[in-house]
Amino acid sequence: MSFEVKEKTEVRLVFLGAAGVGKTALIQRFLKDTFEPKHRRTVEELHRKEYEVGGVKVTINIMDTSGSYSFPAMRKLSIQNSDAFALVYAVDDPESLEAVKSLREEILEVKEDKYTPIVVIGNKIDRHNERRVSSEDALSTVEMDWHHSFLESSAKDNVNVLEAFRELLQQANLPSWLSPALCRRRETFPKESKKRPPMNKTNSCLIS
């Protein structure tokens, strides 16, 4: 009697950034396609999402961390145990971009590897009139100086949320078949704004 052995792949993503930049909102938009406008303080929450394609099961663990830096030991442990990192700032808050710079340095120090998979996300682009961080400056810093992927998003308007996760999962070396599985999810998502924020061409998700 033979049993089919299912391959199991597991990956851990961690979201880091200052308080109130929308880390939880991005995660909830990805997992549940919902948006809660009221900010709720997060200490640390782990979310799990499973996909199964062709008999292969992939578990995605998403760690949502505290924006207040009163838990340095907890944050260091999250960094040590994670495969890829989302560093989130808000485009209406220049100080949150400074927090991203500090967090990046901490990640590289803990991981001892400058090639650690990191995606920098400028969230809250729906706040057009309150923008205080230019796309060009952030893009130049992240891609030219740091050599990380960069994109801008809106958890509220569901812009580039799925693309951000696809880039994280790609950098975490998940099986290539997962990308089209995630692409197909977009068909059930609300239509995105035609004004697309800057992002890598390699980050785009094409549906035929």
Tell whether the model's pLDDT for residue 113 goes beyond 70: yes
- Name the 3-class secondary structure at 160: coil
Q: Is residue 33 a contact partner of residue 110, using CB atoms and an 8 Å limit?
A: no
DSSP H helices in 39-190: 72-80, 94-111, 135-139, 161-171, 178-185
Average pLDDT on 123-152 reads: 95
Q: Is the pLDDT of residue 179 over 60?
A: no
Structure tokens at 171: 């950098």
Confidence of residue 141 (pLDDT cuts 50, 70, 90): very high
Q: How buried is residue 131: exposed, middle or buried, by Cβ count under 10 Å (0-12/13-18/19+)? A: middle
pLDDT of residue 196 exceeding 50: no
Vertex 91, ends 28 and 181: CA angle to 5°?
35
Q: Is 0.95 topped by the overall pTM? A: no
With 80 as the cut, is the pLDDT of residue 180 above it?
Answer: no
Helices 161-171, 23-32: axis angle to 10 degrees equals 90
- Return the CATH fold of 8-203: Rossmann fold (3.40.50)
Q: Where are the domains of the chain?
A: 8-203
Which tops the pLDDT comparison, 41 or 194?
A: 41
